[in-house]
Amino acid sequence: MTTTAKEFQNHIGGKWQSAQSGKTFPNHNPATGEIIGHFPLSGKSEADAAVAAARSAFDKWRLVPAPKRGEILYRVGELLTRYKEDLARTMTREMGKVLKETRGDVQEGIDMAYYMGGEGRRLFGYTVPVELPNKSGVATRDPIGVVACITPWNFPIAIPTWKMFPALVAGNTVVIKPASDTPLSALRLVEILYEAGLPDGVVNIVFGPGGTVGEALLHHPDVAVVSFTGSTESGRHVAIEAAKSLKRVSLEMGGKNAVIVLDDADLDLAIEGILWSAYGTTGQRCTACSRVIVHSAVRKQLIEKLVPRIEQLRLGNGLDETVDVGPVINASQLDKIHSYTGIGKAEGATLVTGGSIAREGELARGHFYHPTLFADVRPDMRLAQEEIFGPTLSVIEVASIEEAIAVNNDSKFGLSSAIYTQDINRVQRAMRDITSGILYINSGTTGAEIQFPFGGNRGTGNGHREAGIAGIDVFTEWKVVYTDYSGKLQKAQIDQSEL
């Protein structure tokens, strides 16, 4: 497996190939600035070649029995397990999150491989009674064709597996364009797919900018499905462009997730959940908590307990097992996060801790930001409404559960929410009235399991879900087959008087 080579290639039609231009772009370690590798700076011609390879491979792959396709995914699961530690270290070097989190990222891929491998013997359709004698009907799932997977950098293995594995087990072929900040993890995953026995051309990977490689995929007539995860801004663009050729599009986009802490909450438990959800992955999870909506009766106590815990979080290189919070992904993201500190202050929020770029010692080599807490945040402030995607948390005070739920729902995003309370009646209310795709009771906003549907509402998604059985839907087309064995013309759904 390729771990040390400095220059990497696209994988198209079973062959490793450089960009036609010969140009490359560097992949940086955000903790140190070190260059990890150089990747092909591809464009439209490489994207077109990858789609052609996937289109050609589709004719055979769709005819491979689904249980056999699933067996390849089982082998992928075994290989991911064997290489887990190495993959986790590669991922930490390339995107910064701490090792226990990158191990978790690979584990999601393992779980998804086994789950979707099992789908090879399910892929449930259904049959129901038909209204005429000597006739049957069955609804089955067909693969659709070439799936373009466009993925972000924050879960560089997990998210590609959420897209590729259901697409593959259903009989589709794939072109993946991973985020330019995390090409190596995606490349390693593709290597593993081929080591597991995937036929040539069934998965193709093309590196390069969203603005060229991604655009080419959105506009290619032979791409049938676009599965995109990334920012809401890019997702909206993807939806508009892909709609022009009526592609099926699945979008998983931004979040502005909240933890609600009511006056009867176990505060110590809530603090554990808030710390993990807000500062884990340096706040760069789509499900990261960036708002704490707290009842006024416990606001002061919560902040007093939370602040020392935030200040104890250890910043540093994620390869160091004693580090809690790694770097943010790149310099422009660091600037964006810092700009929100200025925005928050200008809006009148109170900066309680953090709020600065970390430049102490070794940290100066990377993109580190001190874990930040704002209090006195109003629900309509930009701090409370816009996705920052960094270690910045806002505390919003409310007077009741009704107000807490209203503030939670007053967001253009709708991915994940959490509520801390001991009262079963309040739990039931939250379950009924909170309008996000995921809700945690007495736990933080992160920690989705792959056997359940994952996704969100409003600006977070466009109605599709990834993972679980629901994750198959976007990659299959329903086909209903009626068999009439009566030997005569029978007319269904016609008024009896016409028969």
Q: How far is the CB of 59 from ligand NAP (least distance, A)?
A: 27
DSSP label at residue 471: H
Evaluate whether 234 touches 462 at the Cβ level (below 8 Å): no
Instruction: In angstroms, give the least distance from the CB of 4 to ligand NAP.
Output: 24
Find the catalytic residue in 252, 387, 397, 466.
252
Q: How far is the CB of 148 from ligand NAP (least distance, A)?
A: 9
Rounded Cα–Cα distance for residues 43 and 25 (Å)? 12
Are 396 and 293 in contact by the 8 Å Cβ rule? The answer is yes
CB of 241 to ligand NAP, least distance (A): 7
- Report, in Å, the least distance between residue 235 CB and ligand NAP: 7
Interface residues toward ligand NAP, by CB under 6 A: 150-155, 177, 179-180, 209-211, 214-215, 218, 229-231, 234, 237-238, 252-255, 286, 387, 389, 415, 460
Q: Is 104 exposed, middle or buried, given 0-12, 13-18 or 19+ CB atoms closer than 10 A?
A: middle
- Asked whether 363 and 403 are in contact (CB, 8 A), the reply is no
- Nearest distance in Å: CB 120, ligand NAP: 24
Q: What Cα–Cα distance (Å) separates residue 20 from each residue in 6, 17, 44, 46, 122?
A: 18, 8, 10, 8, 42
Residue 43 or residue 355: which is nearer to ligand NAP going by CB?
A: 43
Q: Over the range 303-319, which residues count as b (16 or more CB within 10 Å of their CB) and which as e?
A: beebeeebeebebbbbb
- Does residue 486 sit in helix, strand or coil? coil
- Alpha-carbon Rg for the chain, nearest whole angstrom, is 24
- Closest approach, Cβ 494 to ligand NAP, in A, equals 46
Judge contact between 108 and 122, C-beta under 8 A: no
- Whole-angstrom distance, CA of residue 1 vs CA of residue 314: 33
181 to 25, 242, 485: CA distances (angstroms): 10, 24, 58
Sequence-distant (≥ 6) Cβ neighbours of residue 337 within 8 angstroms: 328, 369, 388, 389, 390, 391, 392
Q: Of the two residues 159 and 265, which places its CB atom closer to ligand NAP in the complex? A: 159
Active site residue 46: no
Spatial distance between the Cα atoms of 35 and 153, rounded to a whole number of angstroms = 16
| Amino acid symbol at 96 | G
**DSSP conformational letter for 316:** S
Of residues 63 and 246, the one with the C-beta less far from ligand NAP: 246
Is 149 annotated in the active site?
A: no
- Catalytic annotation, residues: 252, 286
